[in-house]
Amino acid sequence: MSLNEKKTLPTDLPEGLKPRIRLFFSVDLVGSTAFKQSRPSWLPALLNFYRDFDQIIHAQYRTFRQRSNAHIAPPEFWKSNGDELLYTCDLSSRAQAVDAIHIWLSALAAYRCDLATLTEDLDVKSTAWIGLFPAPNSEVFFRRGGAQFRSDSVDDPVLAQAEMRDKWYAGHGRHDIVRDFVGPSIDTGFRLTSWSSPRRLILSADLAFLLTSSYATSDEPLPLHFSGAQKLRGVMDNQPYPMIWLPVGAGARADVHDEGIGRHLSDPNLLRSFCEAIVEQNYKVFTPLFLADDPEDDGDFGWAPPYIINRIAKDWQAEKRLKMAA
């Protein structure tokens, strides 16, 4: 974000209301339903997935940091959803998005190697997307085990959320608080998981735009592919959404050659232009990008859209009025 636009943010804005882009990852165990129903002793395999994948993703992150001078936030476990694990990390540059994807791909490959030694009946599939916070997406907070807060005396959910948010970002009382993420980008990401497969890591269109925008500065450009567009229920007013993916897993390269439709858009420049058009036509649906080439660079993504800044400032003023009236 440029210096001039940083000044448009209120000087007293809490840390938890400052604009930030988060990258989200989903990894889902494939074949688990049949596996559970065919084996009385299915639980150890599921527990291994929970433990081993988490260990592997953090090991891959440490390996990356040891061989690279790049700064990138570590992957953070968000939550589990049955046989699905969800992770997130903050992004402050376009290069970090590319690095995070490479770390994730390495973790998927390493976990697959381990899983293959245990069973041939399970695999994993994955999806990745981004979201801008605190608008149009939002963090929400929940108390654990009846924890008490000052705002309990005031019957206002906005003030209760604000107190838990401020405690979270101050690093106080996190053992009493659970954080979750909600919003249009989160809904889109979960919809996209239905398109993923063991050979295709599905990407949101705004994330694909971010990744292709980094090709000129990346040592390892990602082989993105496009396979037409389909409707995602409730997303983009049910207009066709682009299916963009990375080849992963055994036989992934062969899968690339299965596609006729949109194969020319696998060219990074054409794919970037295509994604840019989609984002611009649906700018209120997709994440407004403001990431530069590096955290100190005010390049063509070094800005935050004025309507986002205005919305954040308006919400902050409303929150302050509630606090004064309480």
In this predicted model, what pLDDT tens digit does every residue of 210-247 receive, in sequence order? 998 876 555 677 899 999 899 999 999 999 999 999 99
H-state helical runs in the chain:
3-6, 32-38, 43-67, 94-116, 157-170, 184-192, 205-212, 252-256, 268-281, 306-325
pLDDT at 289: 67
pLDDT at 178: 93
34-41 average pLDDT score = 90
3-state SS class at 312: helix
Single-letter amino acid, residue 302:
G
pLDDT at 71: 86
Find tokens 């559970």 and name the residue. Answer: 36
Lowest mean pLDDT among 5-14, 47-56, 132-141, 175-184: 5-14
pLDDT at 111: 96
Max CA-CA distance within the chain?
63
pLDDT at 260 over 50: no
Contact predicate 107/56, CB 8 Å: yes
* H/E segment holding residue 242: strand 240-247
Is the C-alpha dihedral spanning 110, 201, 185, 90 positive or negative? positive
pLDDT at 175: 84
pLDDT at 169 over 80: yes
Q: What's the distance, CA 14 to chain centroid?
A: 22
Is the C-alpha dihedral spanning 238, 244, 248, 251 positive or negative? positive
pLDDT at 28 over 80: yes
Going by pLDDT thresholds of 50, 70 and 90, the confidence category of residue 250 is low
H-state helical runs in 220-267:
252-256
Q: Using one digit for the tens of pLDDT, what is the confidence trace for 100-125?
A: 999 999 999 999 999 999 889 999 99
Q: What is the token pair recorded at 237?
A: 């007013």
The model's pTM is 0.89
Q: Using one digit for the tens of pLDDT, what is the confidence trace for 56-91?
A: 999 999 999 999 888 899 999 999 999 999 999 999
Q: What is the token pair recorded at 309?
A: 């800044």
CA distance 145 to 126: 33
- Domains of the chain (ranges; CATH) run 20-137+183-187+274-303 (3.30.70.270)
3-state SS class at 87: strand
What angle is formed at CA 124 by the lines to CA 24 and CA 208, rounded to 5 degrees?
40
pLDDT at 154: 67
Contact predicate 29/118, CB 8 Å: no
CA distance 168 to 171: 5
The pairs formed by 319-322 with CB atoms below 8 angstroms and a separation of 24 or more are 319/158, 319/159, 319/162, 322/156, 322/158, 322/159
Q: Using one digit for the tens of pLDDT, what is the confidence trace for 131-163?
A: 999 999 999 999 887 767 766 666 788 999 999
pLDDT at 217: 56
Q: Using one digit for the tens of pLDDT, what is the confidence trace for 285-325?
A: 777 666 765 555 544 445 677 888 889 999 999 999 998 88
Contact predicate 177/14, CB 8 Å: no
